Structure 1
Amino acid sequence: MNYKKSIMTQYDYVIIGSGFGGSVSALRLSEKGYKVLVIEKGKWFKSEDFPKTNWELKKWLWEPKFRLRGFFKMTFLNHVTVLSGVGVGGGSLTYANTLPIPKQNFFTTGSWATLNNWEEKLKPYYQTAYKMLGAAKNPKLHATDLTIQQIAKDIGKEGHFEATKVAVYFGEAGRKVEDPYFNGKGPNRTGCTHCGACMTGCRYNAKNTLDKNYLFLAQQLGAEILAEKEVFNVSFLISEDGSDGYKIEFKSSIGKKQLESVTAKGVIFSGGVVGTVPLLLKLKENSLPNLSDYVGKNIRTNNESLIVVTSTVKNPKDYSKGLAIGSILHSDENSHLEPVRYGEGSSFFRLLTMPLVYHKYSLFRLLGIFGLVLKKPVILLKTIFANNYAKRSTVLLFMQTLDSTLRIKLGKITKMKTEQEDGPKPKAFIPEALNFGKIFGKKVKGIPYANITDVLLGTPTTAHILGGAVMGENTSNGVIDKHCKVFGYKNMLVCDGSMISANPGVNPSLSITAIAEYAMDKIPNKES
């Protein structure tokens, strides 16, 4: 008997992570007849499980060793602070719903540039992603959006301002309806109330998170989802290229660390950059040595800046109303500005910010803050002790397509560390962003603030870390091929933000979804 041919596996595919890439993979593989298991380290969340504000840290933050079992994670690296999502549905639980298609530069740069005519090749998959995520144009601008629109007019860019396309069911505010997207196969939905709390979890069943589309439909086709489990090892069963299948070992991510394992013909890594990349680096040192030396390289941050401005006028407008991101200003061919909001009461971030002063050296930044205390003491005090902080505050998200990269390595003290790779290292201080912060500040009598780590260490904060398992022609310049298949191993793919191989310069969720759709389309139906 040929033992290799007789080996049986429990699943056809195990998917590690349930974000945009993992959810797409779960549905499309299930449709093709494969037996699928999704392993997610975070929890299942229903609408009523989400916190009312981000002060409910146990429901909002993910840091299980401190008994914080929410869905929002902050990862502090030496070059950047990373914001990400954890839970069944991954980043969709906490992202701002925004679904822009990147400009041409994204498709023609980076390690994937010569592998395909990506802009043309991905067009139908972007449309599929729009349909599956229930994309719709924001029908109503609110106070923050209107302020940005006025700024666009002031600088002669009014034609470059627009409402965002978002993954939200609008309908009639607060009214429940039967599934409006999948001919009754999906869950009931409720019309958006424009409460602004998208990023602390939609409590009104209006946000089109992945558990309401891709994952919901995949389960109907037999896909299994195992929550609160973290994969720590993947090894081949017999053949070194994995052609006979893999053993996937995991443990509880909450509570007792009971060890478990399953076997599968194929594996898809979909845990996001902060999940997939350190896992691949660990596996390369141990059970999967054929992985490319390129693992961890070409990490991008979308070159973004997050600036908070709090209004100090006596009777301010309510900047918490609307969508998390309801509009976007394309300030030039490489740059984009989006006003971001949190719902009423979500003022936890005021503890993590301090006035933003631009200078190369931290000592002079601190001296600059001291200068602000002398020059604008009243505004500073009003900002610090402002009532209704979320209603008064706007986060300005500034992003650029200008490229620079880092490398992630395993740390000896911390789980990961970063090194500068190509181009200038990511900066917390982008002059154009700070300029917009000052312009916005003048309109609302506020001062630009930034994350404490941005100001003290000069390191930026990003919600869009990308790369680390990028596409390439071979192992000398990539980890995966143009179909997201891992070099050196059979039936192994990467489908998450790690596969993004150039700087999109805009929110990447739609692109991750579209590329995952493309990759799954290349996998044949299961033979009966």
Structure 2
Amino acid sequence: MDTEYDYVIVGSGFGGSVSALRLSEKGYKVLVIEKGKWFKAKDFPKTNWNFRRWLWMPKLKFFGIMKLSIFRHIAIISGTGVGGGSLVYANTLPTPKTAFFNSGSWKDLEAWEHTLKPFYQEALKMLGAAQNPKLFDGDLGLQKVAEDLDIKENFEATRVAVFFGKPNITQKDPYFNGEGPDRSGCTFCGACMTGCRYNAKNTLDMNYLYLAQKNGAEIIAENEVIDVQSIHAKDGSEGYEVLTRSSTKWLNQNRKITTKGVIFSGGVLGTVKLLLKLKKKSLQLLSNKVGEDIRSNNETLISVSGLNKEKNYSRGVAIGSILNTDENSHLEICRYGEGSDAWKLAHLPYVTGSNVASRIFKTLVKLFKNPIDYFKIYFVNGWSKNTVVLLFMQTLDSTLKFKRNIFGHMYSTVSTGKAPTPFIPESIQLAKAYRKAINGVSTSFALATLAGIPSTAHILGGAVMGENIDTGVIDKHNKVFGYKNMFVIDGAMISSNPGVNPSLTITAIAEHAMDQIPAKTL
């Protein structure tokens, strides 16, 4: 039968954006469906106190770029909007170490480190990767930690997706021979994670999606895919019918779209949730591995607020430096732009302990012993100006499993290894070292204190690669087992623990998957 599109891509993050460009270049008719809104530089909030533009909470009519999802074992920060996580991420583009390519369910499918090498290079080029040229107070604090720990050689500036031209000076596209949009240089305001208002951040709508649209790809925002059904043949060989509805309106009509192929690129929270739903009814041939092998990068987030008024920890790019603390771990400095102090509402003094009673007791003791210091953090000094968030990550592995309850909501269970924890000994020691280096006090998300739940911005897995349908959801080319012309290309495909910010890796694997698809023939 005739279909409206060759491919419908569900989500416009790193995997979906790569797919849109490469398929449109090969002559396919492509539609990208994005749950979030379109954002231009002027649309981003000046600070994160503007909840309506910062947070994604549709029931409250908040249609911003950041979503916070809380599960029993993990709290997850993710992105929404055309460009997906690139709108809210910290721009950092590291390559994982060798262990990543040789572990997990995908390890024997390909010599991945060698196979993906050219695709990593292409991803770096497309994302406009550049070395951060300036270190600021927060970075210098991390450098001091490296010196104190006698690992100075392990400290380095980050490689980031930022245009370091002349601040506030607009110039013609510097990346794609004039085919891309005009750009302006970074001002080092630190506000990357609330949305770049200066046209310097290389978000996906500045590269992959921009070029895809020039090739004829269509993008519809503020729409959510609620069903995918195969047409006639159970395996989708005769195409699919995709059902969407508005994600920003309470009263709306569903829309049906027909397509030869479908690519799921809604991130773990979008793709896995949808696949779990579809497996119950519309796509029953999906692997039983859907929802398994969920990884959190073994992360912790601990905030340290300096007490020196002369310092300004909000200056710089969102993550300007990194310290490789050992072969399995590293530490990064995260910052928010000056005035973005809303996170303090979710912070309590950082304490550790095996149960909630002991942690609450320790919290009260800290407040009693240091009332002036904490009063300054919460009521006097600007939180973002005086605070950095220490992002600690490990390649050491443990997995969760996401399931769907009778109400259609996802929930988490522990699958292998220990449950994620916000109290990793190495991160505790590093937080102490950083606190000493800048003369500060530490806080953390209240969920860590009250419930022992860690936070992550890098949830991965749930539709991993495998040799067959019994070991994975997709094959080594990202094709979904059991269905024709169906793919998963986003963080859900990541099949082992990278231990670093995963955006570059998602982009590289997406490039590899698209390279396997031939050009369209008439």
- With structure 2 as the length reference, what TM-score do the two structures score? 0.99
Match in the other structure for 1:469: 463
Task: Give the C-alpha shift of residue 436 in structure 1.
Answer: 1.5
Select the residue among 266, 271, 290 that pairs with 2:285. 290
Letter in 1 for 2:434: F
Select the residue among 318, 332, 335 that pairs with 2:329. 335
SS at match of 2:487: strand
Q: Does structure 1 residue 324 correspond to structure 2 residue 332?
A: no
| Alignment of structure 1 residues 223-372 onto 2, 5 Å | 223-255=217-249, 256-313=251-308, 315-372=309-366
Select the residue among 7, 15, 18 that pairs with 2:12. 18
Select the residue among 84, 97, 115 that pairs with 1:121. 115
Task: Give the C-alpha shift of residue 312 in structure 1.
Answer: 2.0
Query: Are the equivalent residues in 2 in contact too, given 1:136–1:165 (CA < 8 A)?
Result: yes
| Alignment of structure 1 residues 57-72 onto 2, 5 Å | 57-72=51-66
Structure 1 stretches of 4+ moved >6 Å: none
In 2, Cα distance between equivalents of 1:62 and 1:447: 30
Match in the other structure for 1:135: 129
Identity %: 58
Task: Give the C-alpha shift of residue 476 in structure 1.
Answer: 1.2
Match in the other structure for 1:86: 80
In 2, Cα distance between equivalents of 1:81 and 1:339: 20
Query: Are the equivalent residues in 1 in contact too, given 2:303–2:443 (CA < 8 A)?
Result: yes
Task: Give the C-alpha shift of residue 492 in structure 1.
Answer: 0.1
In 1, Cα distance between equivalents of 2:23 and 2:189: 36
Structure 2 gaps, min length 5: none
Select the residue among 447, 450, 467 that pairs with 1:456. 450
Match in the other structure for 1:3: none
Letter in 2 for 1:287: S
In 2, Cα distance between equivalents of 1:381 and 1:56: 24
Letter in 2 for 1:85: G
Query: Are the equivalent residues in 2 in contact too, given 1:379–1:445 (CA < 8 A)?
Result: no
Task: Give the C-alpha shift of residue 383 in structure 1.
Answer: 2.1
Query: Are the equivalent residues in 2 in contact too, given 1:316–1:392 (CA < 8 A)?
Result: no
Letter in 1 for 2:207: N
Structure 1 gaps, min length 5: 1-6
How far does the alpha carbon of each residue in 1:262-317 deviate from its partner, in whole angstroms, 9 at most, with x for none? 0000000000000000100000001000000000000000000001111123x231
Query: Are the equivalent residues in 2 in contact too, given 1:26–1:38 (CA < 8 A)?
Result: yes
In 1, Cα distance between equivalents of 2:408 and 2:393: 28
Task: Give the C-alpha shift of residue 442 in structure 1.
Answer: 2.1
Letter in 2 for 1:516: A
SS at match of 2:380: coil
Task: Give the C-alpha shift of residue 172 in structure 1.
Answer: 1.2
In 2, Cα distance between equivalents of 1:189 and 1:379: 42
SS at match of 1:216: helix
In 2, Cα distance between equivalents of 1:389 and 1:417: 33
Q: Does structure 1 residue 494 correspond to structure 2 residue 494?
A: no
Q: Does structure 1 residue 210 correspond to structure 2 residue 210?
A: no
Query: Are the equivalent residues in 1 in contact too, given 2:236–2:484 (CA < 8 A)?
Result: yes
Query: Are the equivalent residues in 2 in contact too, given 1:94–1:199 (CA < 8 A)?
Result: yes
Query: Are the equivalent residues in 1 in contact too, given 2:8–2:263 (CA < 8 A)?
Result: yes
How far does the alpha carbon of each residue in 1:51-104 deviate from its partner, in whole angstroms, 9 at most, with x for none? 000000011100111010111000011110000000000000000000000000
SS at match of 1:302: coil
Letter in 1 for 2:194: T
SS at match of 2:278: helix
In 2, Cα distance between equivalents of 1:175 and 1:154: 40
Letter in 2 for 1:309: V
In 2, Cα distance between equivalents of 1:316 and 1:254: 44
Match in the other structure for 1:4: none
Q: Does structure 1 residue 187 correspond to structure 2 residue 178?
A: no
Query: Are the equivalent residues in 2 in contact too, given 1:383–1:446 (CA < 8 A)?
Result: no
Task: Give the C-alpha shift of residue 441 in structure 1.
Answer: 1.6
In 1, Cα distance between equivalents of 2:310 and 2:458: 31
Query: Are the equivalent residues in 2 in contact too, given 1:434–1:448 (CA < 8 A)?
Result: no
Select the residue among 70, 73, 90 that pairs with 1:76. 70
How far does the alpha carbon of each residue in 1:470-506 deviate from its partner, in whole angstroms, 9 at most, with x for none? 0000111100000000000000000000000000000
In 2, Cα distance between equivalents of 1:246 and 1:187: 34
Query: Are the equivalent residues in 1 in contact too, given 2:277–2:408 (CA < 8 A)?
Result: no
Q: Does structure 1 residue 483 correspond to structure 2 residue 467?
A: no
Q: Does structure 1 residue 437 correspond to structure 2 residue 462?
A: no
Task: Give the C-alpha shift of residue 440 in structure 1.
Answer: 1.6
Task: Give the C-alpha shift of residue 355 in structure 1.
Answer: 1.1
Q: Does structure 1 residue 55 correspond to structure 2 residue 65?
A: no
Task: Give the C-alpha shift of residue 414 in structure 1.
Answer: 6.8
Q: How many residues align?
A: 521
Letter in 1 for 2:45: P
- With structure 1 as the length reference, what TM-score do the two structures score? 0.98
In 1, Cα distance between equivalents of 2:179 and 2:102: 38
